Amino acid sequence: MSSGDETAMTFDPSQDFAGVLDGLQTVTLVRPGSSAATTVPHALCRAVKTREMEPSQGQYTAADVAWHLPASETPEAPRPGDVIVDARDRRWTILTVRAATLASRWRCLARDLALAHGLDAAVRIEKATPAKSESGAEQLVWRLWLAGVRARIQPAERQVATQHEQLSTAAAFTLLVAEDLAIDHTCRVRGPDGKIYRVLGYRKAQRIDALSEIDVMLEG
């Protein structure tokens, strides 16, 4: 091959990834705790087949996929804990990241926590906000804060409360959610059946593949 042919044979792996692969989609890369989000126009999703791997003791699940993100479209390298929101609004939490194809793309093993943990209920989070009544008096009004939050509602131990010197029994529950919602006592939860749950406490997930927990009590 002559020296004049060298320019024509130059290979750019980043251009190759975006130009020759089918099944690409636009996704959004979100870093928890930050308002910044990165649009990635040429992301590729591949299913992780657990049968091709060694026994993982539950490390890999049917809700795991491998996302391939071009390095040229990600100004900051993705990292574990980041979330990929796909074209169907499914949220994939990144578990591991490694460079691939001469560092032209990132291979991100990610998990749909809602699917993996059976979050089968869509709840609404309402927040008490100050407002004025018709008479001008200050009052608190419940307004929608977050809709369509994937959750699992499971019974917890029953609690005994004292009201007007009488003992009553209230049903306590734990709501498991995949997102860090920063919920506090000014919030309440409305279940898919319309039932209202008062928020008692909130525990943020301690691992990127775990769930946050909301302690609630059924009202009424």
pLDDT in tens, the chain (220 residues): 444 444 444 434 444 444 444 579 999 999 988 888 999 999 999 987 654 444 556 566 778 999 999 999 999 999 999 999 999 999 999 999 999 888 899 999 999 999 999 999 999 999 999 988 888 888 989 999 999 999 999 998 765 555 555 555 668 999 999 988 889 999 999 999 999 999 999 999 999 999 999 999 998 7
State the pLDDT at residue 109.
94
For residue 108, the domain's CATH number is 2.40.10
What is the count of structural domains for the chain? 2
Q: Check whether residue 191 and residue 104 sit in a common domain.
A: no
111 within 8 A of 61, measured Cβ to Cβ: yes
Q: Check whether residue 143 and residue 99 sit in a common domain.
A: no
Can you tell me the distance from the alpha carbon of 211 to that of 180, in angstroms, rounded to the nearest whole number? 9
Q: Check whether residue 100 and residue 10 sit in a common domain.
A: yes
Q: Which domain holds residue 191?
A: 121-218
Can you tell me the distance from the alpha carbon of 104 to that of 15, in angstroms, rounded to the nearest whole number? 9
Q: Check whether residue 99 and residue 22 sit in a common domain.
A: yes
Can you tell me the distance from the alpha carbon of 150 to that of 179, in angstroms, rounded to the nearest whole number? 9
Q: Check whether residue 87 and residue 137 sit in a common domain.
A: no
φ/ψ (deg, to 5) at 18: -75, -20
Can you tell me the distance from the alpha carbon of 76 to that of 37, in angstroms, rounded to the nearest whole number? 11
State the chain's maximal CA–CA distance in angstroms.
Answer: 97
State the pLDDT at residue 135.
82
> What Cα–Cα distance (Å) separates residue 42 from each residue in 15, 19, 20, 38?
11, 9, 11, 12
Q: Check whether residue 98 and residue 132 sit in a common domain.
A: no
Can you tell me the distance from the alpha carbon of 181 to that of 203, in angstroms, rounded to the nearest whole number? 10
β-strands 91-100, 196-203 pairing: unpaired
3-class DSSP state for residue 71? Answer: helix
Domain final position from 112, 142, 161: 112
Can you tell me the distance from the alpha carbon of 173 to that of 18, in angstroms, rounded to the nearest whole number? 47
Q: Check whether residue 137 and residue 214 sit in a common domain.
A: yes
Measured over the CA atoms of residue 150, residue 202, residue 129 and residue 30, the dihedral's sign is: negative
Domain final position from 59, 88, 112: 112
Q: Check whether residue 125 and residue 108 sit in a common domain.
A: no
3-class DSSP state for residue 13? Answer: helix
Q: Which residue has the tokens 């008479």?
A: 135
State the pLDDT at residue 12.
46
Q: Check whether residue 10 and residue 89 sit in a common domain.
A: yes
Q: Check whether residue 108 and residue 127 sit in a common domain.
A: no
Q: Check whether residue 47 and residue 91 sit in a common domain.
A: yes
For residue 163, the domain's CATH number is 2.40.10.270
Domain final position from 86, 112, 138: 112
Q: Check whether residue 177 and residue 195 sit in a common domain.
A: yes
